[in-house]
Amino acid sequence: MVQCSTSPCAGGSGCTYTQGYWKNHPNAWPAQNVILGTINYTQAQLIQILNQPASGNGLVSLAHQLIAAKLDIGTGADASAVQSAVNSADILIGTLIVPQLATGSSVQALQAH
């Protein structure tokens, strides 16, 4: 019988976390801004995205995963296995704005960046 488990992460460099972790621990973020595609989002906007249910929307779902991956990399997680996927996700997102932020003044603020 083979058993596998994930070793606990003691925090700090090299750990990877879920989008739920990043949504609930903004003080642990290594940066106040993250670029998704070609758009520079503030931490407040990123938390708004993380709080938005994907509800079958592929762009929102991809944004959730990309935010978590970039924050993990920013805190020292090894990017070698995922960097190609991160680059591909940025290319795929391009100039698209995550849907819930595409209303009101948020879109004008984002386009100004």
77: closest CA among 15, 6, 10? Answer: 15
| pLDDT mean by block of 10 residues, the chain; 113 residues | 68 84 97 97 96 94 97 95 97 90 50 44
CB atoms within 10 A of CB 34: 23
Angle between helices 83-93 and 58-74 (to 10 degrees): 140
pLDDT at 22: 97
**pLDDT recorded at residue 5:** 57
SS3 39: strand
Query: What pLDDT is attached to residue 9?
Result: 74
Q: What is the rounded CA–CA span in Å between residue 15 and residue 71?
A: 10
What pLDDT sits at residue 14?
Answer: 81
